[in-house]
């Protein structure tokens, strides 16, 4: 009985046959709704096709997307890199290139209300797993040997943390990792920086800092994978995202939540002047207490020496 085709080196499938079968399997999937984050938009004037890349916000996976340029040009809200969208289309396999693309005929922006509702659902799920439990929080060291700082390049948050920390304790060391703090590349870069600083032997505390922004700008800091990465760190993590009213989910997972980057610097580094004042005060109080003790003992000794039996011991003989 001859071996079935493809089972042995003597009876291989030709590329065209495999490509045709793959195309058939993909075609049977039909049209689907897909949600993701746009990481690239390429619309060339005079062409009939626009090219996009759609990325999964929670995983390092992406999908090529094609559509009519009018879908992007006539969108109710401007589509930009970083936009969260839901698209409807059909996957297509191109045998000549061996590639897969999603041809879409409808694109919908994910609204703010829906994004906030999803964050609340994720918050409830993480809380039920115990990721927000105060018993999981690690103490922040009083005087860290080195501070790991994750923030945007040349940002106000970087300037605030570095200037305040060095002013309060001039000898402090800062291990700086600059990353994207918004957009589709933010979460992977922040997770990579977290992993590197968590393994650094000299880093005693990690500060994750960025300034304020819109709900969309702060979305990476409510990402499930980032929250789990913070929770898994062996090094204490301080979250200093946005301003006082901003509460991304990483605030709840981190070991300490700071209202602002400036507040984070104040809470992880003691003030050298204040500590010196405390030491001087304790030295003064210790010296005063010692002088008081010596004076009391001297008076007691003088009282004993003033007694007749001790003042003139031979007078009774």
Mean local confidence (pLDDT), 4-15 = 77
Cβ-Cβ contacts under 8 Å for 95 (sequence gap 6 or more): 16, 19, 20, 22, 23
Residue 85: closest CA among 61, 60, 65, 59: 65
- Helix-strand-coil split of the chain, %, nearest 5: 40, 20, 35
Give the mean pLDDT of the chain. Answer: 87
pLDDT band at 178 (very low <50, low <70, confident <90, very high): very high
Residue 166 has pLDDT above 70, yes or no: yes
Mean local confidence (pLDDT), 229-239 = 95
Q: What is the pLDDT of residue 1?
A: 52
**Sheet strands side by side (includes 146-151):** 173-178, 146-151, 205-210, 237-241, 256-257
Q: How confident is the model over 270-316, as pLDDT tens digits?
A: 886 676 677 778 888 888 888 889 888 888 888 877 777 666 766 66
Residue 258 has pLDDT above 60, yes or no: yes
Q: Are strands 173-178 and 205-210 parallel, antiparallel or unpaired?
A: unpaired
Q: Are strands 31-42 and 50-55 parallel, antiparallel or unpaired?
A: antiparallel
Q: What is the pLDDT of residue 117?
A: 82
Q: How confident is the model over 53-66, as pLDDT tens digits?
A: 998 877 778 999 99
Which of 20-34, 42-56, 300-314 comes out lowest in average pLDDT?
A: 300-314
Q: How far apart are CA 243 and CA 285, in angstroms?
A: 41
The rounded percent of the chain whose pLDDT value lies above 90 is 46
Mean local confidence (pLDDT), 16-20 = 87
Q: What is the pLDDT of residue 300?
A: 84
Q: What would the two tokens of residue 15 be?
A: 């590329």
pLDDT band at 39 (very low <50, low <70, confident <90, very high): confident
Q: DSSP string of 229-291?
A: HHHH-SS-EEEEESSTT---HHHHHSSEE-SSHHHHHHHHS--HHHHHHHHHHHHHHHHHHHH
Mean local confidence (pLDDT), 113-140 = 90
């Amino acid at each position: 009985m001859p071996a079935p085709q493809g089972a042995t080196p003597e009876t291989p499938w030709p590329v065209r046959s495999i490509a045709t079968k793959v195309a058939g399997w993909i075609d049977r999937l039909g049209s689907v709704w897909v949600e993701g984050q746009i990481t690239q938009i390429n619309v060339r004037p005079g062409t009939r096709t626009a090219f996009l890349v759609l990325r999964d916000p929670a995983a390092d996976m992406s999908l090529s997307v094609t559509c009519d340029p009018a879908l992007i040009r006539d969108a109710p809200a401007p589509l930009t890199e970083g936009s969260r969208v839901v698209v409807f289309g059909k996957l297509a396999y191109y045998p000549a290139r061996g590639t897969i693309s999603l041809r879409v005929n409808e694109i919908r922006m994910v609204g703010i209300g829906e994004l906030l509702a999803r964050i609340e659902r994720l918050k409830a799920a993480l809380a039920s797993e115990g990721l927000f439990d105060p018993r999981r929080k690690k103490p922040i060291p009083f005087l860290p040997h080195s501070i790991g700082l994750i923030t945007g390049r040349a940002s106000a948050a970087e300037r605030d943390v570095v200037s305040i920390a060095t002013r309060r304790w001039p000898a402090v060391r800062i291990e700086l990792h600059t990353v994207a703090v918004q957009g589709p590349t933010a979460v992977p870069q922040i997770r990579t920086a977290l992993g590197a600083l968590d393994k650094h032997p000299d880093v005693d505390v990690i500060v994750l800092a960025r300034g304020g922004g819109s709900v969309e700008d702060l979305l990476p800091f409510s990402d499930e994978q980032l929250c789990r990465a913070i929770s898994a760190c062996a090094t204490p993590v301080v979250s200093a995202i946005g301003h006082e009213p901003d509460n991304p989910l990483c605030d709840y997972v981190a070991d300490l939540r700071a209202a602002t980057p400036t507040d984070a610097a104040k809470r992880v580094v003691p003030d050298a002047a204040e500590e010196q004042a405390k030491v001087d005060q304790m030295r003064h109080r210790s010296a005063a207490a010692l002088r008081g003790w010596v004076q009391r003992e001297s008076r007691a000794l003088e009282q004993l020496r003033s007694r007749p039996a001790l003042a003139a011991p031979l007078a009774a003989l």
